């Protein structure tokens, strides 16, 4: 073995030793672990339970205020024994762009996303939000949805109303009240 090869081997060994010693002195990073199947299953079951609890609270508040509960026909998000229509939201917006209610019904928006939505009465026009409250529309002003449920209403006047999210360009819901 030549003298140059011996020096290189000594240098390589010294570098490897320094790397090992340095790695031992660095703070250890914590590694996030994916939750087990039980945790995932719990998350899926928590949304319907939360929804049922929210509807029960809305009904109890309406009952205590003297408002009557009316039956309504089955619809995609309509509960058959209440005057509440439920609409799901995700990260990108409303799962339906329009929803039909009967006069006197409430609209319950359920957000299962960590993405925040800030809702107002209004429309998107030419890529810009126009905050405007149509006559007869319930007030929707700076309503924040972030993995929660919000009730809007009651919608007491027949007509067409619009709700937008200021944070998401083009995110608009049309509410048709019959």
Output the average pLDDT for the chain.
74
CATH superfamily ID and name for 37-177:
Cupredoxins -  blue copper proteins (2.60.40.420)
pLDDT of residue 146: 86
Model confidence pTM above 0.85:
no
CB 113 within 8 A of CB 157: no
pLDDT of residue 54: 55
Could you tell me the residue ranges of all domains in the chain? 37-177
Residue pLDDT, tens place only, 53-78: 556 555 554 444 433 323 233 334 44
pLDDT of residue 40: 43
Residue spans of the chain under pLDDT 50 = 29-34, 37-42, 61-82
Among 116, 100, 64, 108, which Cα is nearest to 82's? Answer: 108
């Amino acid at each position: 073995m030549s003298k140059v090869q011996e020096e290189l081997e000594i240098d390589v060994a010294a570098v490897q030793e320094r790397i090992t010693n340095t790695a031992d002195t660095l703070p250890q990073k914590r590694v996030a672990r994916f939750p087990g199947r039980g945790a995932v299953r719990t998350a899926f079951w928590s949304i319907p339970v939360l929804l049922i609890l929210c509807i029960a609270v809305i009904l109890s508040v309406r009952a205590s205020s003297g408002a009557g509960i009316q039956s309504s026909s089955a619809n995609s998000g309509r509960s058959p024994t209440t005057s509440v229509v439920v609409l799901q939201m995700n990260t990108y917006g409303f799962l339906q762009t329009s929803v039909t209610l009967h006069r006197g019904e409430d609209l319950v928006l359920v957000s299962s996303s960590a993405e925040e939505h800030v809702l107002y009465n209004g429309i998107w026009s030419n890529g810009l939000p126009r905050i405007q409250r149509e006559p007869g529309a319930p007030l929707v002003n700076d309503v924040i949805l972030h993995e929660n449920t919000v009730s809007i209403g009651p919608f007491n006047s027949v007509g067409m109303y619009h709700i937008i999210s200021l944070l998401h360009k083009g995110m608009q819901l049309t509410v048709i009240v019959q």
